[in-house]
Amino acid sequence: MRTVKRLHPAFRDDIGDLVTRRPVPGPAIGHVGAFLFLNHHGPQSYPPNNRGLPFGTHPHRGFETATFILEGELAHTDSAGHASIIRAGGIQWMTAGSGIVHAEVSPADFRRDGGPMEILQLWVNLPARLKMTAPRYVGAQAGAIPAVTADGATVHLISGAFGGAQGVVDSLTGVFLTWVEIEAGGSVTFDGLEGRDVFLYGARGVFHVEATAVPHFHLAELTPGDGVTITATEPALFLFGHAEPIDEPIVAHGPFVMNSEAEIRQAFHDYQAGKFGVAEIVEA
């Protein structure tokens, strides 16, 4: 079974009035295998007549984004023609692939009325063979996401299989990804992890891996092994995933993640030439 090798705290890196914490990349960890980057926005409460989230139109190429809306609402539009407003408990999974322009903003009613907001966004790498795949998007509300409940834990299944259920997203690379709510006294075990990159981040409360406590706002770097058991003595919420390693160079610059500097330069050139298309911001 896997144990905790090291804990990595999330560091504050606010974006204007948006409270933001980032556990990876951090001073002691650049990425967790295929899992490249995590922003934890909030938790916070927006007043009425707020400006909302600041992520207007911007490009991506070479990876995927998985976005968890724990509280609040998130409006998405992109240059491939996708548009949705996802509310609390829902997810957005976007494959940037060969290039996409998208916007992630607060819809008009949230900007008018305000309310609680907490969002996690995880960047997941694509191998070279898929970096130029066609962009795609899945947006799912809470009710569409399978929830497997047992032993005091509820596993919200985003991609992969667990407890006889299948996630709402069919990952191109076989990524398993979930967020888990666990009660005091609860326990959940994930297996089939041998040789996989494992991502474990505490968003709320405190949970335990063997005898090690993992507080909220911390990433747990784990030892090798085929399984991990997570327990709790108080209510907690965490993000858990695993993926096949991608044994390739990672060259990241701003919104692009490729395998070489030349590919990064090409991405900038293609974006500036308008090859990624245009996304309109949702106002509804």
* Residue in this structure with the two tokens 């694509």, named with its chain if needed: 126
pTM tops 0.75, yes or no: yes
DSSP state of 234: S
Q: 24-82: per-residue pLDDT in tens?
A: 999 999 999 999 999 999 999 999 999 999 999 999 999 999 999 999 999 999 999 99
Which pLDDT belongs to residue 281?
A: 67
Is the separation of the CB atoms in 47 and 116 below 8 Å?
Answer: no
Comparing C-alpha atoms, which of 58, 138, 62 is closest to residue 101?
Answer: 58
Flag whether pLDDT at 256 surpasses 70: yes
Confidence of residue 183 (pLDDT cuts 50, 70, 90): very high
Q: 170-180: per-residue pLDDT in tens?
A: 999 999 999 99
CA triplet 162, 214, 26: central angle to 5 degrees?
95
Flag whether pLDDT at 104 surpasses 80: yes
Cis peptide bond N-terminal to 43, omega within 30: yes
β-partners of residue 70 are none
Flag whether pLDDT at 284 surpasses 70: no
Mean pLDDT of the chain: 97
DSSP secondary structure string, 186-232? -EEEEE--TT-EEEEEEEESEEEETTEEEETTEEEEE-S-SEEEEE-
Q: What is the mean pLDDT of residues 118-130?
A: 98
Query: What is the biggest distance separating any 2 CA atoms in the chain, rounded to whole angstroms?
Result: 56
Flag whether pLDDT at 194 surpasses 70: yes
Q: 201-255: per-residue pLDDT in tens?
A: 999 999 999 999 999 999 999 999 999 999 999 999 999 999 999 999 999 999 9
**Which whole-number Å values give the CA distances from 151 to 51, 154, 183, 231, 238, in the listed order?**
41, 9, 9, 10, 16
Which pLDDT belongs to residue 167?
A: 98
Flag whether pLDDT at 282 surpasses 90: no
Residues of the chain above pLDDT 70, percent:
99
Flag whether pLDDT at 106 surpasses 80: yes
